[in-house]
A and B are shown apart, each in its own frame.
Chain A
Amino acid sequence: MTDIKYAAPDTIEEAVAILAAANGSGRVLAGGTDLLVQLRAGIAKPGTIVDVKKIAEMTTITETDGAFRIGAAVSGAVIGEHEALRTLWPGVVEAINLIGSTQVQGRASPGGNLCNASPAADSVPAMVAAGATVTIQGPDGRRELPVEKVAAGPGRTNLAKGEIVVSFTLPKRPKGSGDAYLRLIPRTEMDIAVVGCGVSLTMDGDTCTAARVGLGAVAPLVLLVEDAAKALVGSKLDDAALEAAAEACRAACKPIDDKRGTIVYRTKIAGVLLKRATAIAAERARSH
């Protein structure tokens, strides 16, 4: 077994430099709940591990003018304890808090969930629905990317060599907004989503004025389902609009058959979860 170098720099600049110098064998370590499992299984063979949890910008949550910036390496447990975030983005927080057990929550981060690039990652459909963007830093400086553009396929990202996801930005939202995330798993805890659905809405009275829908575990990438959002916007979330949005979700599915669910089942469930998550998001929007 080869030696692994471990570094825990205090600044993003240093982390990027170490990663870039590792010639493709460097890996970022946030909570390690994916990376250390892969290391032990021999799937990941890093030469250098760059622990980013000493970098302040990556481990803090800040609010500016109603917009939130969540450090990519903040743990699920810390996110779940953030009152303001829970109030404004309950769907994002519940999605992150669904990841694993209490122990896993103590370490697992949204950055790790996104960069591990599993199509079933729970926080990603909720982040997509929220319209979150990530700030990425690399050897050539900073850039921004919508969350849905980060994964390139199962286990692959669009990050270039030396690039690190620094933080997520959740935009300021108008009054009357709410979000929700639901996943279907065969048990109540500790399982991988068969389908995950995030919905974020803005309501003006009974009319939906803005919507975004994210779908997970039904395609190689987490999907932004724009047709579902179009079906909801302008409607009073009546049965016809909900059915049209559900149909758009079913049409967007390109799932696999596996032990957790068949193609037919996953496709059907995508529509069911869309309707249920929309109902919860609308309820929350009305109480804001």
Chain B
Amino acid sequence: MSKLHVSTIINGEPTEFLCDGRQTVLDVLREQLSLTGSKEGCGSGDCGACSILVDGRLVCSCLMLGAEAEGKSIETIEGMASGEELHPLQKKFVEMAALQCGICTPGVLVASKALLDRNPDPTETEVRYWLAGNLCRCTGYDKIVRAVMDVAAEMRETAR
């Protein structure tokens, strides 16, 4: 099987990998690059557990080929904390117990950060629609939505 050579930037680091024509970015992240934070819940775009940013755009990494990452800049959950310092969203999720089993959490965090980066003052409805593609079997969503709203309010406060 001929392998494709792909050069990309992952969480700010220039990264190269080899993949075949049917491997997804999620496969590459988890199996080749040992970045196992992104989860596979469905593999069909329904659950959002595999959410990443590609050139700043939120996508499902299970629905993107590894080969398509050539020349792109990718952000995953592993890039969210700065060293040991958790991102405010991560801290708040722990504090408010906005997670139980944690399978959906990396995707929810990546998606929530993408929302707050473009809309620092979302309404509850906007949060719920934005996260409609992130399924959670445990929390019932309420704690997640409240945590995101809380962090948004705090980040607006600090930005002042």
Contact = CB atoms under 8 A, between A and B. Distances in A.
B111 to A, nearest CB: 7
Interface in B31-76: 43-46, 48, 51, 54, 57-60, 62-65, 67-68, 70
8 contacts: A6-B67, A36-B45, A51-B65, A102-B129, A104-B45, A106-B54, A189-B133, A190-B46
- The DSSP consensus for interface residues of chain A is loop
Nearest to A29: B65
Contact-residue bracket for chain A: 20 to 34
B44 A37 contact: yes
Of B2, B45, B114, B131, the most chain A CB neighbours within 10 A belong to B45
A103 B51 contact: yes
A102 B112 CA distance: 11
A107 interface: yes
Interface residues of B, number: 34
Interface of A: 1, 3-6, 8, 29, 31-33, 36-37, 39-41, 49, 51, 53, 75, 77, 100-104, 106-107, 188-190
Interface stretch (B17-25, B84-92, B150-158): B17-25
A32 B67 contact: no
A77 B63 contact: no
Given A31-B63, A49-B21, A102-B58, 13 more contacts: A4-B20, A32-B63, A33-B63, A36-B45, A100-B45, A102-B129, A102-B131, A102-B132, A102-B133, A104-B45, A104-B60, A189-B129, A189-B132
